[in-house]
């Protein structure tokens, strides 16, 4: 469960069943995992329970909660050289993986039975960045979910090895935040594989126009996250859109996973959500620089391939 207060400048909060309900990490911060008693307090069969903390449940505040369903109680996975605990939903192409870093080249089982297109990793016990693998930037590069940086060459993070249907690879060294021993080395990885009609990961090339590139996903998206992977710096945020907050086009209410800032309510970074994909509708550099690569992750509103245009 990924929570964000929309009208207050507080960090994004992520919780999962493998780490337990009261364990919080924040995509917009390098802070270590914290134990809370008044934020997300329980996972239920039909939702989740919140405490009274104003960052998740305060009077007069508006919130968004994005959820991905794993595979229930985590099981030990020995497919890699580093043993992991995995809750995998192979139908949805999503798994939560925890493991202990070794500081040596290794592989880690993810339980998906399909090749992940996106992997997001945080060392829970050290003030390290959130390291992102994306299929469009490849195994020799990293993006940082908590940063506006562009994709950066890094031969260590993924050991220059593309994930397989059973494992992903991690390397060594001070910059390889995927496999450190710092603080005890307890890591969590969120692994995502494409599922036809439900999820899609890839990239498009910006054209600098309000008649921006169209991205075919094969479904009507419910949630879209994009990032300019070519250029970084101030304003080059990650942008997350959904059709719960914006019920008609253009979809302009974005939140930035790398930032605690409030929801952006202007029209400077919008997309159109279509029956078979999405289209970028702005010319701003952060989301549509001419010639730049824009990566994306998209999830369907209706996973049964009967979505309708709006």
pLDDT digits (tens, 9 = 90+) for 222-264: 999 999 999 999 999 999 999 999 999 989 999 999 999 999 9
Which pair of structure tokens corresponds to residue 176? 């390889």
pLDDT beyond 90 at 39: yes
Distance of CA 198 to the CA centre of its chain: 16
The three-class DSSP label of residue 201 is: strand
pLDDT beyond 50 at 56: yes
The three-class DSSP label of residue 12 is: coil
For residue 304, the model assigns a pLDDT of 63
pTM of the model: 0.96
For residue 116, the model assigns a pLDDT of 98
C-beta separation of 213 from 295 below 8 A = no
- Confidence category of residue 55, pLDDT binned at 50, 70, 90: very high
pLDDT beyond 60 at 110: yes
For residue 308, the model assigns a pLDDT of 45
C-beta separation of 168 from 107 below 8 A = yes
């Amino acid at each position: 469960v990924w929570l964000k207060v929309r009208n207050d400048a507080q960090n994004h909060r992520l919780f999962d069943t493998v780490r337990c309900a009261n364990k919080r990490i924040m995509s917009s911060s390098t802070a270590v995992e914290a134990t809370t008693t008044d934020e997300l307090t329980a996972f239920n069969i039909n939702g989740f329970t919140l405490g009274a903390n104003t960052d998740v449940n305060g009077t007069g505040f508006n919130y968004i909660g994005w959820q991905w369903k794993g595979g229930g109680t985590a099981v030990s996975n020995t497919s890699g050289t580093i043993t992991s605990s995995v809750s995998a939903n192979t139908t949805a192409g999503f798994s939560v993986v925890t493991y202990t870093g070794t500081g040596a080249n290794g592989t880690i089982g993810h339980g998906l039975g399909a090749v992940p297109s996106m992997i997001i990793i945080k060392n829970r016990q050290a003030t390290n960045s959130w390291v992102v693998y994306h299929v469009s930037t490849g195994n020799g590069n990293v993006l940082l979910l908590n940063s506006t940086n562009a994709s950066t060459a890094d031969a260590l993070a993924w050991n220059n090895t593309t994930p397989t249907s059973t494992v992903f690879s991690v390397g060594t060294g001070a910059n390889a935040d995927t496999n450190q021993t710092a603080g005890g080395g307890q890591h969590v990885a969120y692994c995502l594989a494409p599922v036809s009609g439900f999820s899609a990961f890839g990239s498009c090339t910006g054209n600098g126009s309000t008649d921006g590139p169209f991205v075919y996903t094969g479904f009507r998206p419910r949630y879209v996250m994009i990032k300019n992977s070519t250029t970084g710096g101030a304003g080059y945020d990650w942008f997350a859109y959904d059709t719960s907050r914006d019920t008609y086009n253009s979809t302009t209410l974005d939140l930035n996973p790398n930032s605690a800032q409030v929801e952006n309510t202007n029209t400077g970074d919008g997309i159109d959500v279509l029956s078979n994909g999405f289209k970028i509708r702005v010319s701003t550099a952060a989301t549509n620089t001419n010639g730049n690569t824009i990566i994306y992750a998209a999830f369907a509103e209706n996973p049964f391939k009967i979505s309708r245009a709006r």
